[in-house]
Structure 1
Amino acid sequence: MLAVIVAGQVAKSQDDGGTQSRSASGQAGDARPEAGQTPSSSPGTVTLSYEQKMDRTYPLSATLKGSGKFEAVPGFAKAPGTGRKYTYRVDVEQGMGLDGELFAEAVQKTLNDDRSWAHGGARTFERISSGKPDFVITLASPGTTAQWCAKSGLDTTEDNVSCDSASTERVMINAYRWAQGSKTYGDKIHPYRQMLINHEVGHRLGYGHVSCQKSGELAPVMQQQTKFLDHDGIHCLPNPWPYPRS
């Protein structure tokens, strides 16, 4: 009888352990990657694709004043075209917690898109991390952005915007706008980020502000789309590209 009782206790213990194991396995099984995601090396986590990262907003305060210290994103991205070549470096202000490599990838992909300033092979853009670039695209906190824009007589504080600080080497991208977007674009954060890059680099290339002239038209990329889409009774549509119909 003692043998039977002990055997029964052992069997019950094994059954309990099996239930716990199945429960943990079931939880892990529910955390399946979404379409386009790739399982990472860490169990229970996934690696987001470029598109997925660009479709997400990130936490960052509208009043953040960063360290003012910049770090160049390492690496090199060759100019893919044969037109007039511009070299640029990507700097990111330290301590903001944003993905500098994602930002650098977005700049390279955006500028060399045929809908962008590389349209028709006229220009091509190459990212370097050492040497003397033609300009430096800088992701910085609102406070630091305002400081650098003020060096060129520009006030970015009223609407918390970005600028091309033309008297310096820096094209300033306001990290709050990069992370959080604008009311004009709503939840369309990926195209908004493309517009930010194209608009400010457009200034560096010599283009000034313009606005759409007829309701229902795409806003020109050089319209101040962070501030407004509608003006003087005219309703403009959001547009991140210099040549959107390419």
Structure 2
Amino acid sequence: MGRHSRKGPEPAGPNTDAGLANGDGGREGVHPGPGSGRRRRVADAQAGADGHTPFQQAGHVRGGHPEQREPGGGWGTGPQQTVPRRQPPVGTRPLIPGPRREFVEAFDAPPAPPAPRGPTVPPARPADPYSSVGEWAEQPPSGAAAPTPTESGREGRGTRGRTFTGMAAAAVTAVLAVVVAGQVAHDSGGTSAAQPTGVDRDGVDGASRSDDRPMPKAAQAKPLSYAEKMAKAYPLSPELHGSGKFEAVPGAVKAPGRGHKYRYRIDVEKGLGLDAAFFARAVQETLNDDRSWAHDGAMTFERISSGDPDFVITLASPGTTGDWCRKSGLDTTEDNVSCDSAATERVMINAYRWAQGSSTFGPDKLFAYRQMLINHEVGHRLGHNHVSCRTPGALAPVMQQQTKSLRIGGIKCRPNAWVYPVD
């Protein structure tokens, strides 16, 4: 197509035409610098001493496209007719043919602006396709100042980024609105429309919110067995002096065997904090064991809680035990032991020894020590006195004072709980 129109005076002079005639407009191998499609003004170039103006329109084609090598190239050759040579006025530089319009439109078209968010603005009047390249490149639309290439690129990318960010934010807002609306409807008593297929829900609020759902029961500790209680120590001070008031353990247990029957009652001092029913069971099972005084049917023991007993087995604090033992001329305070207060109806069991045991048996033989304590004191009530061990390493007799020591007269024996032990 012919010469592009441009602003400025028409170039004249033989040097310009000579340059055209010599094929300056069709040169190849010139690598243009970076640009946005806008041509630099011709006035920016300085003429040489011979009047030749350096080529100013060189600009790299974006995207790395190769240059055209057809006759004239992508820059055109300008008019070929002979023009009379004229000397250009002083200060005026000859014009160089500009790039073809299709190349400018292909690589330098600005990105389309995003759709407006505010009030609808009438579209701008399309540019005249036949206007000059210079006018199209130099005049910004609507009279606004033309942005620089760097600003144009940043503006386009920033606008697209903001557009995508806005779309993503709108999508997230829509999803949150749906979730909140569904939760509000569910909490207000409405049924949710997004229930899983095939899942039946009873009630309006669903099974997970039902008021009829049973509450989980608190985990309860398994009660200790009789053997575990007999092997367990209980806290009690060795200097405790209780109230001195007793309370009979209710209930009765028949004598299980034959032979002479002894009836007894169990009293427990108030305020000890010990299990009275457990103590009563321990007494009954120990006395009627075949290794005890009921061995081979010689006698049997029956617990009562009312009536006239043969004796009263009493669990009392160390202070109260001392008081009752003193009535029979016995001192139990020196070693904090138990006694049979023969002048009274009471067989006194020191609650401290029952709860803590003794060093002679140790903490791992509390079960056996408690059995020995019952058999020893009831043995006194049945008429038996103290007996010492005579064979080293043998089982100590049940009537030996095993709470005090297992070594008597230089002979040490092993602890023993029974009248008739099975060694």
- Check whether TM > 0.5: yes
For normalisation by structure 2, the TM-score amounts to: 0.50
Q: Specify which of 294, 315, 336 is matched with residue 139 of structure 1.
A: 315
The corresponding residue for 2:61 is none
The corresponding residue for 1:201 is 378
Instruction: Provide, for residues 203-235 of structure 1, a one-character-per-residue CA deviation record: whole Å limited to 9, x for no partner.
Output: 000000011101110000000000000123212
Instruction: Provide, for residues 169-192 of structure 1, a one-character-per-residue CA deviation record: whole Å limited to 9, x for no partner.
Output: 000000000000000010111110
Q: Specify which of 214, 222, 236 is matched with residue 60 of structure 1.
A: 236
Q: Specify which of 154, 174, 177 is matched with residue 353 of structure 2.
A: 177
For residues 80-229 of structure 1, the aligned pairs below 5 Å read 80-187=256-363, 188-229=365-406
Is the alpha carbon distance of 1:4 and 1:180 closer, same or farther for their aligned partners in structure 2, counting shifts above 3 Å?
A: same
| Per-residue deviation, 1:52 | 0.9
SS of corresponding position for 1:89 = strand
- Unaligned 5+ segments in structure 2 are 1-173, 187-207, 209-215
| Per-residue deviation, 1:131 | 0.3
For residues 33-48 of structure 1, the aligned pairs below 5 Å read 43-48=219-224
Distance in 2 (CA, whole Å) between partners of 1:149 and 1:6 is: 83
One-letter code aligned to 1:77? V
The corresponding residue for 1:39 is none
The corresponding residue for 1:235 is 412
SS of corresponding position for 1:47 = coil
Q: Specify which of 35, 51, 73 is matched with residue 249 of structure 2.
A: 73
Distance in 1 (CA, whole Å) between partners of 2:227 and 2:422 is: 21
| Per-residue deviation, 1:7 | 6.4
Q: Does 1:4 align with 2:179?
A: yes
Q: Report percent identity of matched pairs.
A: 69
Instruction: Provide, for residues 17-76 of structure 1, a one-character-per-residue CA deviation record: whole Å limited to 9, x for no partner.
Output: 9xxxxxxx9xx9xxxxxxxxxxxxx63322111111111010100000000000000000
**Runs of 4+, deviation exceeding 6 Å:** 6-10
Instruction: Provide, for residues 73-99 of structure 1, a one-character-per-residue CA deviation record: whole Å limited to 9, x for no partner.
Output: 000010001100000000000001000
For normalisation by structure 1, the TM-score amounts to: 0.85
SS of corresponding position for 1:200 = helix
Larger radius of gyration: 2
Q: Which has the higher contact order (CA 8 A, sep 6+)?
A: 1
Is the alpha carbon distance of 1:7 and 1:214 closer, same or farther for their aligned partners in structure 2, counting shifts above 3 Å?
A: farther
Instruction: Provide, for residues 129-160 of structure 1, a one-character-per-residue CA deviation record: whole Å limited to 9, x for no partner.
Output: 00000000000000000000000000000000
One-letter code aligned to 2:418? W
Distance in 1 (CA, whole Å) between partners of 2:246 and 2:220 is: 34
Structure with the bigger percentage of strand: 1
**Range with bigger deviation, 1-10 or 97-106:** 1-10
| Per-residue deviation, 1:245 | 2.1
Count residues in correspondence: 218
Is the alpha carbon distance of 1:228 and 1:6 closer, same or farther for their aligned partners in structure 2, counting shifts above 3 Å?
A: farther
One-letter code aligned to 1:82? R
RMSD of aligned residue pairs (Cα, Å): 1.9
- Unaligned 5+ segments in structure 1 are 11-16, 18-24, 29-41
Instruction: Provide, for residues 84-138 of structure 1, a one-character-per-residue CA deviation record: whole Å limited to 9, x for no partner.
Output: 0000000000001000000000000000000000011000000000000000000
| Per-residue deviation, 1:6 | 6.5
SS of corresponding position for 2:284 = helix
SS of corresponding position for 1:158 = coil
One-letter code aligned to 2:289? D
One-letter code aligned to 1:4? V
The corresponding residue for 1:38 is none
